[in-house]
Amino acid sequence: MIEQRWKKWVYFYIPLAVFIVGTLFPFYWMAITAFRPDEELYRSWRAVNNTPFWTLQPTLAHFQDLLAKTTFPRWLWNTFFIAVASTGISLFCGLLAGYALARLKFPMAGALGTGIFVTYLVPPTLLFIPLADIIRNFRLGNTPWALILTYPTFLVPFCTWLLMGYFKTIPRELEECARIDGATRFGAMLRIIFPIAVPGILSAGIFAFTLSWNEFIYALIFLSSPERKTVPVGVVSELIRGDIYFWGQLMAGALLGSVPVALVYSFFVEYYVTGLTGSVKG
């Protein structure tokens, strides 16, 4: 019995605790830095009175600086607007395309499905240079539309793929019944199948939203004026002046920029996980 308990500690509790601490420590560090006054932040690492893991004088100074010296709320709004709009477009395209690929018979269906799957695997960093040129030519540079239209390049394939899988799990009979009752093919899709697919739509939407919130390289290249930027780009380009890192403000910005997406995630954990595991299912 004692040996059993000892084993459980070594093989289970201790490794799990190490995983938890390792995973969450950077976030703790982010938070504690954001609330720590500057004179404590830049104290020599060998100083005797150095207490890195807590602070006795928490301060909101960094948050005040962040809000006073940058257009941070604006960045938050931009990120939110862009994420919602591109998620909306991607869900629209993904729903229609996913339904067609799952249910309809037409020539080239297999090839199109494969094609969309292949675009799913194209990373944004392969195409950012020509894409920047195209955005310039379309005169979309430095507008939110540059991102709202390009984020769907990685969101549409994902949404299509996920929703296609979801539609395949809905029995065909439901649709056939509706059609016997006189519904058109399109009407059956809209009024019978889509409402059943709401959990799948929600999963795809939540996942797409977090992906857009996370995106960096397109936002870095396509946006230039400070008030148009998204949170990740604004933090990188406006809070490092020259070679100087304002760590307090940086961490305050990182914390505030993480909260919305963490909140969305915490409300919809189950849907997010379905989206995540569905994103890799064949």
Partner 1 sequence: MANHVLEDAGSAAQLEVALPHPATSKPARFERFLENERFLAFILLAPAVILLSVFIAYPFVMGVWLSLSSTSVGIPGQFVGIRNFVKAWNDSIFQQTLRNTFVYTFWATLFKLTLGMWLALLLNRHFRGKRIVRASMLLPFIIPTVLSTFAWRWMFDPTFSVLNWVLYRGGFIMTKLPFLSDGAWALWCAIIVNTWRGMPFFAITLLAGLQTINPDLHEAASLDGAGAWHRFWHVTWPLLKPVTIVVVVFSIIQTFSDFQLIYVLTGGGPANSTHLLATYAYQLGVAAGLLGEGAAISLFMFPVLLVVVWIQLRYLRRLEGV
Contact flags string 11-50 toward partner 1, x per CB under 8 A: -x--xx--xx-xxx-xx-xx--x-------xxxxxx---x
Q: How far is the CB of 165 from partner 1 (least distance, A)?
A: 12
* Beta carbon of residue 257, minimum distance to partner 1 (angstroms, whole number): 5
Both structure tokens of 145 = 């539309």
Per CB under 8 A, the list member of 82, 97, 147, 197 interacting with partner 1 is 97
Q: Determine contact, residues 221/132, Cβ cutoff 8 Å.
A: yes
Q: Does 202 bind partner 1 (CB under 8 A)?
A: no
146 interacts with partner 1 by CB under 8 A: no
Indicate which single residue of 76, 82, 85, 250 sits in contact with partner 1 (rule: CB under 8 A).
250
DSSP assigned state of 2: H
Q: Which is nearer to partner 1, 6 or 12 (CB)?
A: 12
**What letter represents residue 245's amino acid?**
Y
Point out which span in 63-71, 166-174, 197-205, 211-219 binds partner 1 (CB under 8 A): 211-219
**Nearest C-alpha neighbor of 98 from the set 150, 151, 158, 152:** 158
Judged by CB under 8 A, does residue 106 bind partner 1?
A: yes
> What crossing angle do the helices spanning 247-267 and 198-214 adopt, rounded to 10°?
170
State whether residue 9 is helix, strand or coil. Answer: helix
- Is residue 5 part of the contact set for partner 1 (CB under 8 A)? no
Contacting partner 1 (CB under 8 A), which of 61, 196, 202, 236? Answer: 236
Around Cβ 4, how many Cβ atoms within 10 Å?
7
* Residue from 117, 143, 165, 226 binding partner 1 (CB under 8 A): 117
Residues between 147 and 176 that touch partner 1 (CB under 8 A): 149-150, 152-153, 156-157, 160
Stretch that binds partner 1, among 67-75, 167-175, 192-200, 248-256 (CB under 8 A): 248-256
User: Any idea of the CA torsion for 171, 172, 176, 177, to the nearest 10 degrees?
Assistant: 0
**How far apart (Å, rounded) are the C-alpha atoms in residues 201 and 93?**
12
Q: Does 64 bind partner 1 (CB under 8 A)?
A: no
Minimum Å gap between C-beta 83 and partner 1 is 11
Of residues 19 and 77, the one with the C-beta less far from partner 1: 19
Closest CB to partner 1 among 16 and 174?
16
Instruction: Tell the smallest beta-carbon distance from residue 148 to partner 1 (Å).
Output: 11
How does DSSP assign 243-267, residue by residue? TEE-HHHHHHHHHHHHHHHHHHHHH
DSSP for 192-239, please give it: IIHHHTHHHHHHHHHHHHHHHHH--HHHHHH--SGGG--HHHHHHHHS
- 122 interacts with partner 1 by CB under 8 A: yes
Rg (Cα) of the chain, in Å, rounded? 24
Residues 119 and 153 sit within 8 Å (Cβ to Cβ): yes
Does position 182 bind partner 1 by CB under 8 A? Answer: no
Would you call 138 helix, strand, or coil by DSSP?
Answer: coil
Contact between 54 and partner 1 per CB under 8 A: no
Question: 93: part of which helix (H) or strand (E)?
Answer: helix 72-103
Q: Does 131 bind partner 1 (CB under 8 A)?
A: yes
Q: Does 266 bind partner 1 (CB under 8 A)?
A: yes
